[in-house]
Copies of this chain bind each other. A is one copy, B any other.
């Protein structure tokens, strides 16, 4: 409890005190707050990724399932959190953390997020959010306009309309994608004749009514793993998520897409949605959106674009063209907590047509009454925080040209890193950056040279050994904690489409300097030398190849 006494006590008076806003700068809590800020700022300034401590060790601090019977002082518990939690968390904001889509955040979001926490609005309904409701609708309007470029008249007609919705704010891209496919499924299996719609009668009756043998959603083989979850949840089944092959550029082959749709239709399977990926998670590639939109129009499919990560590129007038065709989508997912630099928990899905979400609209007696402007009538989630205010604030403080600079520098940094990798004898660029994401692997120079002589079997064997080496380097680098790159598995042409483990780098953090990129390569090179067994096996194979 917040108490001046030496031992924390449990009394209703002390409980009332913890719910009371402290007055004045000398209160215990104000002091704890200041001390905590100093500690966090110190932590954020440390340029390492993580302390070297195995998870098993950390788990010991979090092993008690009993809820404490004794209260702790706030000051004591804060120190406990700093020692056991903060010091063993990951510096996702470190300039050398270049392995995932988390980055340093604009620091002004720290004070502003206090507004969100302190006011604790619930956006499900106006009664618990008031001004936050129009604010969220405006944020959705801004993103809608960024994608679809409609005119002022459009937004003044629809943005605040009680019975319409330009999209939904949600906790992240997964819920955004599920929402888009939910809307698409319900529109494809809508009420006709005696049938009351899939939302009322369910999928089994819908299939019998429409006479389909199956449903399908088509996406490139590089589609995000969450789409499988979506297909499962929505009752379509993971097998209903049909993977279309990609070219060597990791983009979907439109011909293969068209052909698969024809095949499915011939089997009486309804391909009700096609998903274009604008920034694949593993290679950062952008599908040919215009061609896909054309196919969807011809085939009467809902066209969804998963731009959870790449959508922020629309902020840059210099690179917006990479997503050409995005404005033709029926729906688009964008995560503000990726390259819009907002804290975790800010996903959005936007719909071209303000009527689209009617297929999932729902009401209740005590809230979300018909005709109300309660946001909850068009969201998969119920109670939600006022996270949209941070997107709103960042849009105003950074502004579009500010975001443009951030996007541009990230893409240019990735191009620089790609050229740096290409210049090395002992590294191979596996996928070129389209946005700020690329993949590569380490191969000792003489091993690379031997590749030309290798037969298919030897190449496959070498690939396996290099996979093990890449895994070893990536794990060791992560554990050492100075820097972090992630890894994934691709099937590149240059490796005969074998399973190929690669390093994966995302360069969203504006604080990541070019010197760090050189250091990361140097560290990987050094770690490779600490795997003598693996290196010896590679040497042995190289000798066989060269023999």
Contacts and interface: CB of A to CB of B under 8 A. Distances in A.
Q: How many copies does the complex hold?
A: 2
A285 to B, nearest CB: 14
B131 A19 contact: no
Interface stretch (A53-61, A245-253, A417-425, A521-529): A53-61
Contacts of A203: 202-204, 235-237
Contacts of A534: none
Contacts of A175: 171, 175, 380-381
A109 B138 CA distance: 29
A85 interface: yes
A397 B74 contact: yes
A36 B33 CA distance: 13
Contacts of A36: 111-112, 114-115
A172 B381 CA distance: 7
Given A141-B65, A204-B214, A89 B382 contact: no
A143 B87 CA distance: 25
A405 B478 contact: no
Choose among A45, A84, A108, A367 the residue with the greatest number of B CB atoms under 10 Å from its CB: A108
Given A201-B237, A397-B74, A62 B29 contact: no
A135 B62 CA distance: 6
15 contacts: A19-B105, A23-B45, A29-B110, A37-B114, A55-B134, A63-B134, A64-B138, A65-B138, A67-B142, A69-B400, A70-B399, A90-B130, A114-B114, A172-B381, A182-B233
Contacts of A405: 10-12, 15
A547 interface: no
Given A20-B107, A107-B18, A128-B102, A362 B228 contact: yes
Nearest to A88: B131
A134 B239 CA distance: 33
Given A63-B138, A71-B398, A90-B119, 18 more contacts: A10-B401, A15-B405, A20-B511, A21-B44, A65-B142, A69-B399, A71-B396, A72-B396, A78-B112, A85-B135, A100-B127, A109-B117, A173-B383, A174-B382, A178-B233, A235-B235, A345-B345, A366-B487
A476 to B, nearest CB: 14
A234 B237 contact: no
A81 B232 CA distance: 41
Interface residues of A, number: 182
Choose among A1, A64, A67, A106 the residue with the greatest number of B CB atoms under 10 Å from its CB: A67
Interface string A280-312: 011000000000000000000000000000000
A199 interface: yes
A55 B133 contact: yes
Nearest to A155: B65
A536 to B, nearest CB: 27
Nearest to A366: B488
